[in-house]
Amino acid sequence: MPMRQLPYSTLLLAALCPLVGSCGRHEADRAANDSTSHAASAAGSVLPASDTTNAISATTDAVGPGIQVTNTDEHSVSRSFDLRLTTANWTKFLHAADSVAALRARDPEVRQHLDEQIVGAKEDDAGEKWLATNAKVAAAITGAGLSVKDYYRLGLTIAAAARFMDNPSAAPPTPSGRENAQFVRDHRSELVHLQEISRGGTGAVQAR
């Protein structure tokens, strides 16, 4: 029986996994490292960390406060390969990231939400939907001129580009891989700021 031909995006994702962050991280390792943790599902309810039947397995790094990648966000990861970084969407992303980081710093409820770790994700696009479940976070993002979906995917695009900014010619052959790597290299200082606030640091965040 002939083998079923896999979609190009699936093959590309499989090829990129060793290059982009923690692909292939074993769920058992995550559970062993934090056996007492709890996390929000995409709908915002709390699931026990022992529920690892479909626990998250991060498939790529991400830049941007609040962005978590689960094993159900493969579609967003695949689509992020097609995004081209421009001055316009880069500026909006910076604004959105600063707004979310400033909100996190001053609002304990938002901080608690963003600090939760998603495990047991079962719903499609769980990471993206979880980010949108907090109305304050969603408003901070949309107030910068981006949808939550665009913010989420740009965070993946930027992280992937950053891996190749010192050698853009080595970037994967996606529609805009080399151009994105070059773009990020030309905005290195802003990237450092984004990485800092993504880790929970304050950087030079300004409430907007």
Q: What's the pLDDT at 5? A: 43
Q: What's the pLDDT at 60? A: 62
Contact 30, 55 (CB under 8 A): yes
Average pLDDT for 107-129: 89
Among left, alpha and beta (phi > 0; psi -120 to 50; other), residue 76 is alpha
- Pairwise CA distance, residues 185 & 98, whole Å: 20
* pLDDT greater than 80 at residue 208: no
- Pairwise CA distance, residues 50 & 31, whole Å: 7
Q: What's the pLDDT at 67? A: 94
Of 157, 151, 54, the closest CA to residue 96 belongs to: 151
* pLDDT greater than 70 at residue 61: yes
* pLDDT greater than 90 at residue 33: no
Q: What would the pLDDT profile of 135-147 be if each residue is shown by its tens digit?
A: 999 999 999 999 9
Contact 56, 101 (CB under 8 A): no
Q: Which residue has the tokens 């290059």?
A: 19
* pLDDT greater than 90 at residue 21: no
Contact 156, 82 (CB under 8 A): no
**What's the token pair of residue 138?**
């969603």
